[in-house]
């Protein structure tokens, strides 16, 4: 018998199963189980699974699994959700830190449903840019490739409505140039009014998600550099809602800010482990 309580949450449409995994749960979070519970027809349904665990260096630890069943380094929207979850459990104050697979992050509860988290720009040497054997369609151009907790390819488009996110994103996500881990693919449009709009083909989900926090952050960094934008805060519009990316002067402290929502709570039970 597998049984656990869960909370369903989303951050601007990026949805997660959140589980308090402290103590003796005796659950082996194998890829087959994670994939099953994230399945939108056969399970609870989500873009990923978040586990809240105990941490020595921080207030708590976050583990993140994509809906393909495999653990990832970081999820920015997921981290905003689990921060709200931990705050509801009274595990932290309004200003705190949490541990993820890519390091210790700072976070702040602006309101119970509005969370600000630190996103790292990993500055390890990255020689990859864009595959030389791949031709982009008219109206789409390469902007950058970087790691904001997970790898992200950023492409600028002159039409977010017309760009083939699923087809083009899927081909680039699995391109041999980005092996072995693959990449997320972000399509970004610079708005005339202010800010940017982003659509993301997300690695691990292997489909477009309504929002991707680390992708939004990567897109904001890339566009800020390309157009020499000096604003300390960039507004980002996604299909799932609005976010903002805040910068220090040196880009050494980057924060993603936006809303989260508790959707429902439940108990998952399965007689035979998959």
Active site residues: 75, 212
Longest dimension (CA), the chain: 57
Structure tokens at 79: 């981290």
Alpha carbon distance 37, 49 (integer Å): 9
Q: What share of the chain is helix, strand, coil (3-state, %, to 5)?
A: 15, 40, 40
Structure tokens at 139: 């109206």
Alpha carbon distance 108, 115 (integer Å): 6
Assign residue 111 a region (left: φ > 0; alpha: ψ between -120 and 50; beta: otherwise).
beta
- Residue 178 DSSP one-character state: G
Burial 104-117 (b: 16+ CB within 10 A, else e): ebebbbeeeeebbb
């Amino acid at each position: 018998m597998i049984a656990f309580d869960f909370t369903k949450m989303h951050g601007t449409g990026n949805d997660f199963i959140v589980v308090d995994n402290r103590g003796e749960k005796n659950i082996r979070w194998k890829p087959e189980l994670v994939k099953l519970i994230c399945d939108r027809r056969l399970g609870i349904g989500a873009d990923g699974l978040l586990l809240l665990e105990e941490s020595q260096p921080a207030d708590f630890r976050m583990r993140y699994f994509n809906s393909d069943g495999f653990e990832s380094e970081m999820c920015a929207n997921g981290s905003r959700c689990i921060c709200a979850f931990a705050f509801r459990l009274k595990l932290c104050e309004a200003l705190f830190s949490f541990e993820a697979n890519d390091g210790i992050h700072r976070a702040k509860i602006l309101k119970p449903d509005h969370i600000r988290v630190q996103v790292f720009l990993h500055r390890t040497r990255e020689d990859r840019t864009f595959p030389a054997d791949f031709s982009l369609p008219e109206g789409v151009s390469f902007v950058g490739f970087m790691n904001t907790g997970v790898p992200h390819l950023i492409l600028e488009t002159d039409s977010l409505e017309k760009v083939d996110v699923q087809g083009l994103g899927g081909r680039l996500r699995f391109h041999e140039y980005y092996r072995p881990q693959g990449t997320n693919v972000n399509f970004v449009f610079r708005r005339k009014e202010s800010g940017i709009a982003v659509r993301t083909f997300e690695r691990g989900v292997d489909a477009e998600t309504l929002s991707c926090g680390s992708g939004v952050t990567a897109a904001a960094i890339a566009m800020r550099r390309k157009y020499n934008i000096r604003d300390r805060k960039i507004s980002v519009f996604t299909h799932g809602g609005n976010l903002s990316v805040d910068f220090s002067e040196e880009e050494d402290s980057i924060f993603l800010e936006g809303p989260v929502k508790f959707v429902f709570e439940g108990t998952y039970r399965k007689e035979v482990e998959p």
